[in-house]
């Protein structure tokens, strides 16, 4: 799976509410339903960190999303 690093950086730079809205929109495109309520800034920073590192940690990002989905 290939990722467009520029797009990921652009997403990570969004304010919390807009970032989460994009995550919810993308998840919906693939048949996943996520809560509309924006997670805490700390949780979103963890997600940003997973995609900003030199090696994109998709499993960590998905783990964070799944944890939030269960709340």
Confidence of residue 61 (pLDDT cuts 50, 70, 90): confident
CA 53 to chain centroid, in Å, comes to 14
Global pTM reads: 0.76
C-beta neighbour count of 10 within 10 angstroms: 11
| Residues in CB range of 20: below 8 A, 6 or more apart | 38, 39, 44
- Residue with structure tokens 């467009």? 4
**pLDDT surpasses 60 at 1:** no
Helical H runs in the chain? 5-12, 16-29, 41-52, 58-70
């Amino acid at each position: 799976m290939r990722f467009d690093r520029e797009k990921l950086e652009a997403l990570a730079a969004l304010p919390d509410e807009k970032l989460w809205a994009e995550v919810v929109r993308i998840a919906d495109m693939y048949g996943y339903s996520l809560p509309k309520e924006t997670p805490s800034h700390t949780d979103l920073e963890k997600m940003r960190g997973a995609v900003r590192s030199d090696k994109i940690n998709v499993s960590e990002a998905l783990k964070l999303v799944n944890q939030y989905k269960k709340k």
